[in-house]
Amino acid sequence: MNSESHIVVGVDGSPAAKAALAWAVAEAKRTNASVLALSVCHLAPSADGGTDPFAEMHRRDLIAAVDALGTAADGVRIDQETPQGKAGPVLVERSADAAFLVVGGHGDHRSGVLVMSSVTTYCLRHARCSVVVIPAEGARHDGPLMLRPETPVR
């Protein structure tokens, strides 16, 4: 895929991540792009080599999040994957040639400052594409925050 053809979005089951998925799909529809929805599972391998129940839970939750979009996703190709690893590095690696990496901002502080998780902060610091942070519904923010790779993050 080239950088103008797909959008990567991290989905962890949170309200902010569901909002991020909805934003990514709407942007993909607007720009005729596809979406790669990733639910990264950071677990140690199962001792008995069997299927890890948490990995299966990530897979089911991702399918449910995409299904919940309903007709909003019509006409948009959405690939779904549940890779293993640390979320930040996996999202950054998988978005290397994406138009955007979209993540949820997990909450807001009483001062009105967007509070970002360690995963979001990692993505903002290391991504090679623009990162879009979507606040959770009800957060006191006007909308998405987009940072390009050259934008300094402290």
pLDDT tens sequence across 65-79: 999 999 999 999 999
> Is 97 part of a structural domain of the chain?
yes
> Is 152 part of a structural domain of the chain?
no
pLDDT tens sequence across 126-150: 999 999 998 876 555 556 666 666 5
> Is 113 part of a structural domain of the chain?
yes
pLDDT tens sequence across 16-39: 899 999 999 999 999 999 999 999
Phi, psi of 116 (to 5 degrees): -110, 140
> Is 130 part of a structural domain of the chain?
yes
Residue 5 has pLDDT above 50, yes or no: yes
> Is 67 part of a structural domain of the chain?
yes
Provide the residue type at 104 as one letter.
G
63: domain CATH number is: 3.40.50.12370
Q: Could you give the number of structural domains in the chain?
A: 1
Indicate the pTM of the whole model.
0.84
Give the mean pLDDT of 44-72.
83
> Is 129 part of a structural domain of the chain?
yes
Range of the domain at 117: 6-44+52-147
